[in-house]
Amino acid sequence: MLENSDRSIPQTIEAIAKFGLEASFLVPTETGLSKSILDAHRSLRLFLKTNNLHDYELQSQGSESKKNIEGFYVTEQGTSPTQISLYRPETKNGDPRIWPYKLKQIANSNNLLAIFSSEGRVFIANVSNPSIMSDDYKPQNYFLKFLENLLKKREETALELLDKIKFCTQGDWIKSKRKGPTGVGFTLETLLGISENNSQSPDYKGIELKAGRLNHKMPRSRTTLFSKIPDWSKSSCSSGMLLLENYGYLVDGRRQLYCSLNNKPNTLGHFLKVTNEDSSLHSMHFNVADEKCCNVFHWDIEVLTSALSKKHRETFWVKAQVRKNGDLEEFRYSSVTHTKSPLITNVVEVLKTGGIELDYCLHEEISANGLIRARDHGYLFKIWPQNLNLIFPPATTYQLL
């Protein structure tokens, strides 16, 4: 469908990216327009899910499960309201569909439609229309004003959060509100009034908040990008318990497995491997005794990039100086690095070269009913600070001191 576009999609992406924005795209076919049915292709589904607008995977088939969301057409004169129907029919295996009402009034077949999201609403612009998008913008061009306004809204939220961090920390040394490695992030979120949760969604009005220690006497630590369990159905180890049984080691009588994996085998023989054939990531194990490798876990690359896009569409990476005060640490939050729009196409190459690592963090425990089970802290994908520029466009850094 997209390949039939009458306007270059790469050039359009580049033009929109100059504003620091991203869009998804639709190209209506003649049949789709006549029947008022458009396929919601994979990248569009990812866009809707990432922006917390709709998740087709959670939607049942049939008209009773249809969802309508608020939308607007961006035209030469301004914006006009519409409704956008999202559904999965009873037939055709429930293939995801989308239909913006009154679409025929603003688009012809093979036109390129750019789709934007802001504050829970969807905006659709026919960028094949030269009076809407052109290489030579005039000051009165409404689409230009529209893009500038979207960018302004995102910047206002970022500055609002930055001001909150400055006000709450004020350059002072602050006692950690929790012992352990998560204290630096928990303390900052507590100061900001952000409740601790396990949600995969960003922390503050679409902005993810990640805090880490900065100690000049020690190397800078890795930052967790996201946590994602393996696809158990495609993995040779179908549970964390099997992973422990096969590869765990005993410490004080407790079986556990704590280690980091990258593109080279670690001391326990575990490493990561990307396969291009099925666009997947595998955790592998190399057995020194028989010099054989075996698959352990499986992740689809698309699932990983979706998690990255959803979690880090816009992120504040906050660094804090640290010192000891008795049993507790004290933090002085010193800088914020602001990143936007992860370069998801780079993820595969960064995984291949070891720039992104995976941590196993699990051990055995006895449940309330006396059974032994695996207690895991998530399958954590982490990155070193010096590699952030490989998966994020150039960032803006603010000093807090």
* pLDDT at 362 (0 to 100): 95
Q: So what's the pLDDT on residue 138?
A: 57
Residues 6+ apart with CB under 8 A from 139: none
User: Which tokens is 298 given?
Assistant: 């499986």
Question: Cα dihedral sign for 98, 303, 228, 206?
Answer: negative
Note whether 382 and 391 are within 8 A (CB).
no
Residues composing the chain: 401
Look at the block and give the residue holding tokens 């990143």.
339
Q: Name the CATH architecture for the domain at 171-399.
A: 2-Layer Sandwich (3.30)
Beta strands in 280-313 (DSSP E): 280-287, 292-300
**Confidence (pLDDT) at 199:** 59
Per residue in 177-213, pLDDT (tens digit) is: 998 888 999 999 999 998 876 555 667 887 889 998 8
Q: Which of 2, 50, 55, 6 is nearest to 26 (CA)?
A: 2
What pLDDT score was predicted for residue 289? 81
User: pLDDT below 50 — which residues of the chain?
Assistant: 218
Per DSSP bridges, beta strands 208-214 and 314-325 are: parallel
Q: Are strands 280-287 and 380-383 parallel, antiparallel or unpaired?
A: unpaired
**Residue 191 CA, distance from chain mean position:** 25
Two tokens at 227? 């946590």
pLDDT score, position 282: 96
Looking at residue 92, its pLDDT comes to 76
Alpha carbon 361 to its chain's center: 21
Q: Give the pLDDT score at 290.
A: 83
Cα Rg for the chain, rounded, in angstroms? 24
Give the pLDDT confidence score for residue 200 in this predicted structure: 59
Tokens, residue 401: 């001191």
C-alpha span between 265 and 250 (Å, rounded): 20
pLDDT of 100: 95
For residue 250, what are the CA distances in angstroms to 138, 247, 258, 361? 69, 10, 11, 14
Say whether 264 sits in a helix, a strand or coil: coil
Residue 343 contacts by C-beta under 8 Å, 6 or more apart in sequence? Answer: 390, 391, 392, 393
Categorise residue 40: left if φ over 0, alpha if ψ from -120 to 50, beta otherwise.
beta
